[in-house]
Structure 1
Amino acid sequence: MAMGSLSDSDDDFNPEINTTPLVDVMLVLLIIFIITIPVINQSVKIDLPRASSQPQDLKPENINLDIDAQGQIYWNREAIDPSQLQIRIATAAQKTPQPELHLRAERTTQYEKVAQVMAAAQTGGLSKIGFITEPEKK
C-alpha cells in the first residue's frame, strides 16, 4: 500500500480536469439551439386594421386677467370695467377649445376683488382658472 507516495508508477491519480462531460453538455446545448432558432423566426401573417390619427394642434388661448392694488381689472393688458368682464367671459366660454384664465393679482389687492373675478368666471362658464405668482426672492 503506497499512500502518499510520489512515484510515477501510480496511475490512479490524474491531476488534469476531465473535459469530456463539459463537451457533451455543450454539444447538447448546441443541438437544442439549432432546433429552436428556426421556430423562433417563424411568424404568422395577419392582416391588422389600419387607423389614421391626426394630432390635435388646437391649443386653447390663454386669457391674462390682471388685478391691480386699486381693483382695476385688465383683460390681456387692456383696462376693462366689471360689466365688460361678464361679457368677455361669456364670449370666451363659448369658444372651442375653451381658453384658460390666468389670474394675476398684486400682493396688496383685496381678496374680495379676486373672489369676485373668480365668481364671475365660474358663472360665465369658464372652467379652467390658473393663478400666476412670482417666485420668492432668495
Structure 2
Amino acid sequence: MILRSNANATHEPLAEINITPLVDVMLVLVVILLVMAPMLSRTLHIDLPRVAASTPEARDHAVTVSLDAHGKLSIDGRDLATDQLEPTLRLIAARSDRIVVNLHADRSQPFGAVANLLARIGHAGIAHVAVATANEGQRN
C-alpha cells in the first residue's frame, strides 16, 4: 500500500491505478496485430479460364459410361457386365490416346460405387474422365 507523505499527513492510501503496464500490454498487442494482419489477408489468386460453352469432344474420341439407379452398367448405351468394363475400355483406349470417358452416374448410387467405377476406368488406361452433372434448374 502506498501512503501519501505531504504536509497534512493524513496517512490515507493512494487510490490511483497505475496504467503503465496496461498501456505496455496494449502496445504489444497492437504491434502483433500489425505484423500478423498482412499474413492473414494473403489469398491464392487463380485466374480461371472463361468459356462461353464447352464444346463436346468429337464422337470418335468420346465414350459414355453410365451407371443407372439399379447399378446396371453400360457403355454408349450397350449393357455391360461389371467385370467386362476394364477390358472393353482398354480396347477402346488402344485405338486412340485422346479418348475421353463421360461418366453418367445416377444420384441415388452411393459414392463408393462411383469411386469404384472411376478406379476401374483409371486402371483401364483412360487418363481423361468427365463426370456429367445436371444444372440446378434442370430436371431428369
Give the TM-score normalised by the residue count of structure 1: 0.54
| Cα distance, 1:121 vs structure 2 | 1.1
Alignment of 1:93 onto 2:93: yes
Q: What secondary structure does 1:94 align onto?
A: helix
| Cα distance, 1:98 vs structure 2 | 2.7
Which residue in the other structure is 1:131 paired with?
131
Distance change in 2, residues 1:128/1:60 (3 Å): farther
Q: What secondary structure does 1:114 align onto?
A: helix
Moved over 2 A (4+): none
Q: What secondary structure does 2:95 align onto?
A: coil
The one-letter code sitting in structure 1 at the alignment partner of 2:129 is: I
| Cα distance, 1:110 vs structure 2 | 1.5
Question: Which structure has the larger Rg?
Answer: 1
Give the TM-score normalised by the residue count of structure 2: 0.53
Q: What secondary structure does 1:120 align onto?
A: helix
In the TM superposition, 1:116-127 aligns within 5 A as 116-127=116-127
What count of residue pairs does the alignment treat as equivalent? 81
CA contact (8 A) 1:66 1:73 kept: yes
What is the root-mean-square deviation of aligned Cα atoms in Å?
Answer: 1.9
- Unaligned runs of 5+ residues in structure 2 are 1-57
| Cα distance, 1:60 vs structure 2 | 5.0
